[in-house]
Amino acid sequence: MKFAEQPLLIFDGACGTNLQLMTISADDWGGCEGCNEILNLSAPHHIEQLHRSMLDAGAMVVETNTFGASRVVLGEYGLQDKVKEINLRAVEIARRAIGNRGDRYVAGSIGPGTKLPSLGHISVADLAAATAEQVDALLEAGVDCLIIETCQDLLQTKTALIVVFEKLAAAGSDLPVLASVTIEQQGTMLVGTDIAAVVATLEPFPLFSLGLNCATGPQDMMSHVTYLSQHWPQRISVIPNQGLPEVVNGETCYPLSPGDYAEQMYRFVTEQGVSIVGGCCGTSPQHIAALASKLGGVQPKQREVSA
């Protein structure tokens, strides 16, 4: 069954926090500690191991280790000339982790970068050029879909989507494109946009799905998911953190148990018609296993969307 034909998709979007829990040597980092994307070149076995653990737990889609693989972010580590190589290798690693598993897919992850245009950190033209370079590499590598995720600035989101759809049109491709915004605990994106404005702004784009990821746990996403369920005509994705992070004995922890997480996500699917679910920061293979078990055989609720 093709990616777009799957009634329910389980995403693994938790690369960063899991890498923090792994034993990665200074040699593995190659002098670029903190740049997760360099591991695609310097120590790909760590990334493959992480992908495999999530696939074994029941993830249907693995996101490439490319969240910060644009020249905007890589340039902070002197790696701006490695954009293509890092993105190509990331897809290669994900494909190797999938192996012969049927109905498993690779999502090309495109993060927001570290400079937001609405705050004057970067020009729209420079952001578009950096996004285009990354998109070219991910498309060349043969991803099954693209996810523009952790969007904190609607101008950044629009810029990325315009670039993506121009690239797809030029290639004659109908590759699914997912957009996922981050709504902070105060109820808006970082630059102050609420979910209604997100829907109104992004509705003209031929998105496969629109949804939420990162920042909070599923409970704090409830009202925003309800709005999407009532007003967004395409698929909805929900890929939350495992609650709000807490510092315990000097370490950052996420409090939501696998069982509680799976139960809350089950309600999103059966009550709000969400059809793309997964986990962001703090998500372990145990969380994905609980989610896959809870959703076995479950069909998303059919929705009626208001104009």
Per residue in 292-304, pLDDT (tens digit) is 999 999 999 999 8
Question: Would the pLDDT of 274 be above 70?
Answer: yes
Report the alpha-carbon distance of residue 139 to residue 97 in Å, rounded: 19
| Upper half-sphere CA count for residue 67 (Cβ side, 13 Å) | 21
Question: Would the pLDDT of 306 be above 90?
Answer: no
Convert the pLDDT of each residue in 52-97 to its tens digit.
999 999 999 999 999 999 999 999 999 999 999 999 999 999 999 9
CA neighbor of 121 nearest in space, from 165, 84, 155, 166: 155
Instruction: Please report, rounded to a whole number, the percentage of residues in the chain having pLDDT higher than 90.
Output: 90
Determine contact, residues 79/86, Cβ cutoff 8 Å. Answer: yes
Token representation of residue 53? 């653990």
Domains and CATH numbers, the chain: 3-294 (3.20.20.330)
Confidence class of residue 259 from pLDDT cuts 50, 70 and 90? Answer: very high
Confidence (pLDDT) at 23: 83
Strands 246-248 and 251-253: antiparallel
The average pLDDT across 126-130 equals 98
**Residue-averaged pLDDT of the chain:** 95
Confidence (pLDDT) at 307: 64
Confidence class of residue 137 from pLDDT cuts 50, 70 and 90? Answer: very high
